[in-house]
Amino acid sequence: MFKKVELQEGVTLYIRKSEQFKTVNFSVKWKTALDEKKSAPRAVLANILEESNGRYRSQTEFRNALDELYGTVLYTDAGKRGETHIVSLSAECVNDEYLSEGGVLEEVLSLIKTVIFDPNVVDGQFDETVVNREKRSVKERIRSLYDDKTRYAQKRMLELLRPDSAASAPSYGTEEGVDALTSADLFAAYESMLNEDEIDIYVVGDIDEDEMTEKIRSLLTFNSRKVHERQTATQQTATQEMEVRHVREKQDMKQGKLHLGFTTPVTFRHPDYAKMQMTNGVFGGFAHSKLFINVREKESMAYYASSSYSSHYGLLYVMAGIDAELEEKAVKLISEQLTALQQGEITDLEMEQTKALLANGIKSAFDSARGQIEVFDQYKELDENFTADTIIAGWESVTKEDVKNMASEIKLEIVYLLSGKEAN
Amino acid sequence: MKNIHFDNLQETLYNEKLDNGLDVYILPKRGFSKTFVTFTTKYGSIDRTFIPRGKTEEVTVPDGIAHFLEHKMFEKEDGDVFQKFSVHGASANAFTSFTRTAYLFSATDKLYDNTEILLDFVQEPYFTEKTVDKEKGIIAQEITMYDDQPDWRLYFGTIENLFHEHPVKIDIAGTVASIQDITADYLYECYETFYHPSNMVLFVVGAVDPEEMMAFIKKNQDAKTFDDPAEIVRSFPTEKDTAAITERKLAMDVSKPKLNIGMKCTNTDIDGEEMLIQELSAGLVLDILFGRSSEFYTETYNDGLIDESFSYDFTMENGFGFAMIGSDTDQPEQLEKAIRTTVKNTVETWPITDLELNRMRKKKIGQFMRSLNSPEFIANQFTRYTFNNMNLFDVVPTLEKLTLENLKDAFQTFSDESGYTVYSIVPADKAE
């Protein structure tokens, strides 16, 4: 799907010509080992690079330039996957052929170069005012998570389940971490990102692959660097039957947010990965899944009740919004659905539906440029020559017996309830 | 079947109005593997007072019924419709807005099976008192979930403040109390009135052969019988131009106060080209005054009055319209003042020039082109435009001809301070 070109050791271009889109999409990803100390400076740095640069010294000038380029979108973000921290710079512009004037693509490429290689630096330092402002922004972003009760409950459950590990490490760092940053720290982080990170560059659009490759090669002149393999987190699994932990926390709110954390030895790189995806689908991934049918439709207890499989950490989550007084009943119902799977109570229909929807999901993801980039960036770690069909074939071969076996590997470790009411 | 080719966009749109009144649009997209289909009725939360089909007396139905009906359409005598879509690999969904109820699926396989399920389940109502009662628990949890979302409370609180009488001020899902009054009979009455094919649009976009698909839809529709189309008589209260409530605060468990300013649009009895010009112009004015390249944004962001949550928006439908500007902020009073000053200055001196207009016009054109990559955007927006007698594919040509005068006219429809309201959410410990 993507053509791979190694520009330098550790710097790879993945390029794809597609007539599907009216725009050209770029993404540059800097990857390094996830480390709490690195997340804060890299998150703030991402903001600073998005804000201004050596050519456009203020946000107004920079944003005006992007507006003039037919609203070219350019943004940065910090995130994580498994044990890897990823800073990304994304840009999307309208393909020249749809515009009355040409040259937009050329100019956007030049801007990407500017953003990366010519930051808003004077005497080897980022502007203090900009640094302070963007530190404030990132701190506020971290803090505002509190206002989204579902995300907050999920974060708390993870902190309790896996303290001090990649699974619960924040990709923007902590407020304290951000607070402590100096301009010098940020410049050091910038230099290390530029010179030491593994870099993947993506281009998708109706472009000439060879011509674009040469342009990228001449504009994005990264040095070579050694890349160290980063593995998926090794899953800490309980050897003994562990006591399930119950934690209840309170806030001033109406709905009870019930989050269950399960562990599984099967991670992204495990040979049973596809089987565990199927198991999650039958359990709670879709509107035909056991959780939706039994917790929402039969009992009318919830508007949402679903499971998700976090393969990079070997974790599986269930979340449901319920009346807090019904916690016990809900946990019992959810556990019963897992037990049913473990006992092999799985129908052909459930298998067929889950396979069909997983296939639809992956094929649909490829219908957006961003989806192509993100899915490829993840799956290429398993097999660079994968296609939607090879992934789908992996699900197709999963049997009811496989799902039963996988379900038996799933262990409930924590029940977390965030609610406003007294629950007993 | 008509087809319209948009040369500059390299798109061809196929359209036919069927004998039963259903308006069908098909837009093939090259290179796509999925097809996205929406089946939408022009019936939303604001349609609460009307004359039911076949009757003469006006009724007012319980709040939240259009949304409740949307939920109940998925349940049939032989089970849940999601199950049927799942077997054919389709991911299905539905949503209810102020003015529309849409049912949709996206699929990469078995397009005709899925289209048939969609057409049939929306056109075969099945409600019983038992299933209606069961749904009340689920929807009560949905309403409670939204009650805990500060951004939703802020958005809706602002609308509640702006309107005296218009039902746009009533939450789309109703309240836990109002949905208790919903019965199967009410659902049938609303269904019969608003789900006639002549009040609906079917939009198919993606990997589709237009001729074959149109033939398939026609065959499905021809096999069913419908009453003759009848005019739908809806009734709306008269709405004043002023805001009903000028200021309100709500205490919630949030990390930082939130402020939202609502500005009521006074020219809303319009549709078609006039509406398109007004809403595009209003959007441009807001982009120029409050966008990321604006003086306002630079100053308030520097001063810490706004953060990354800052947003602004202009919404309009036939009968109501409003602009909103808001952000999380530690200094709500100063932010309110800054927004008011910017608007007031615009009223008094009209500082917007062709330079800004041209830049924002380019930005909007680019934004529109980008959104044409999304089948979801095309289907949802095209339907909304059609219900307002506008055409989505007129956006670029209309943007190209907009003048400063258009912007000024649009701005004037929401520039009077008597139509403003301020809604804020404050952390519980700081509430008065």
pLDDT (0 to 100) of residue A424: 43
Over the stretch A401-422, which tens digit does the pLDDT of each residue have? 999 999 999 999 999 999 995 5
Kindly give the pairing relationship between strand A305-310 and strand A315-322.
antiparallel
Nearest to A149 among B142, B148, B294 (CB): B148
Return residues 39-78 of B near A (CB < 8 Å). none
Return residues 149-208 of B near A (CB < 8 Å). 149-151, 206
pLDDT (0 to 100) of residue A234: 58
A19 to B30: CB separation less than 8 angstroms, yes or no: yes
Burial class (CB in 10 A: 0-12, 13-18, 19+), A135: buried
What parts of chain B have a pLDDT lower than 50?
432
Q: Please, which pLDDT band fits residue A232 given cuts at 50, 70 and 90?
A: low
Query: Among residues B58, B70, B75, B400, which one is catalytic?
Result: B70
Collapsed DSSP state (helix, strand, coil) of residue A118 = coil
User: Could you tell me which of B184, B269, B199, B187 has the C-alpha nearest to residue B233?
Assistant: B199
pLDDT (0 to 100) of residue A233: 57
To the nearest whole percent, how much of chain A has pLDDT over 90? 92
Other C-beta atoms closer than 10 Å to the C-beta of A207 total 18
A19 neighbourhood in chain B, CB within 8 Å: 30-31
A359 touching B (Cβ < 8 Å): yes
d(CA A322, CA A295): 10
Phi, psi at A102, each rounded to 5°: -95, -175
B360 to A20: CB separation less than 8 angstroms, yes or no: no
- Return the residue matching tokens 């090794």: A234
CB-based contact A308:A316 (threshold 8 Å): yes
pLDDT (0 to 100) of residue A101: 84
pLDDT (0 to 100) of residue A423: 45
CB-based contact A59:B292 (threshold 8 Å): yes
Which of A79-101 are b and which e, b meaning 16 or more Cβ less than 10 Å from the residue's Cβ?
ebbbbbbbbbbbbbbbbbebbee
Position with higher pLDDT, B280 vs A36? B280
Tell me the average pLDDT across A143-150.
96
pLDDT (0 to 100) of residue A127: 92
Phi, psi at B92, each rounded to 5°: -110, 155
B92 touching A (Cβ < 8 Å): yes
CB-based contact B196:B226 (threshold 8 Å): yes
Residue A236 reports pLDDT greater than 60: no
User: What are the C-alpha distances in Å from B313 to residues A67, B46, B284, B289?
Assistant: 18, 20, 10, 12
A66 neighbourhood in chain B, CB within 8 Å: 293, 363
Residues 6+ apart with CB under 8 A from B174: B62, B63, B64, B65, B67, B68, B143
When scoring A25, A48, A66, A70 by the number of chain B Cβ atoms within 10 A, the one with the most, hence best to mutate, is: A70
pLDDT (0 to 100) of residue B224: 98
Which of A255-287 are b and which e, b meaning 16 or more Cβ less than 10 Å from the residue's Cβ?
bbbbbbbbbbebbbebebbbbbbbbbbbbbbbb
ipTM of the complex: 0.95
Over the stretch A154-182, which tens digit does the pLDDT of each residue have? 999 999 999 999 999 999 999 999 999 99
B293 to A22: CB separation less than 8 angstroms, yes or no: no
The yes-or-no answer on residue B70 being catalytic is yes
Residues 6+ apart with CB under 8 A from A61: A52
Residue A310 reports pLDDT greater than 60: yes
Which of A12-29 are b and which e, b meaning 16 or more Cβ less than 10 Å from the residue's Cβ?
bbbbbebebbbbbbbbbb
Q: What is the H or E stretch that residue B55 is in?
A: none
Question: CA-nearest residue of chain B to A257?
Answer: B145
B89 to A357: CB separation less than 8 angstroms, yes or no: yes
For helices B354-371 and B272-290, angle between their N-to-C axes, nearest 10 degrees: 110
Q: What is the H or E stretch that residue A33 is in?
A: strand A23-33
Beta pairing partners, B35: B107, B206
Residues in chain A, overall count: 424
CB-based contact B388:B275 (threshold 8 Å): yes
d(CA B101, CA B99): 7
Position with higher pLDDT, A213 vs A101? A213
Over the stretch A69-86, which tens digit does the pLDDT of each residue have? 999 999 999 999 999 999
B372 touching A (Cβ < 8 Å): yes
B150 neighbourhood in chain A, CB within 8 Å: 147
Burial class (CB in 10 A: 0-12, 13-18, 19+), B231: exposed
Structure tokens, A245: 């932990």
Distance from CA of B252 to the nearest CA of A (A): 7
Tell me the average pLDDT across A310-317.
97
Nearest to B293 among A60, A93, A302 (CB): A60
Over the stretch B390-425, which tens digit does the pLDDT of each residue have? 999 999 999 999 999 999 999 999 999 999 999 999
Distance from CA of B181 to the nearest CA of A (A): 18
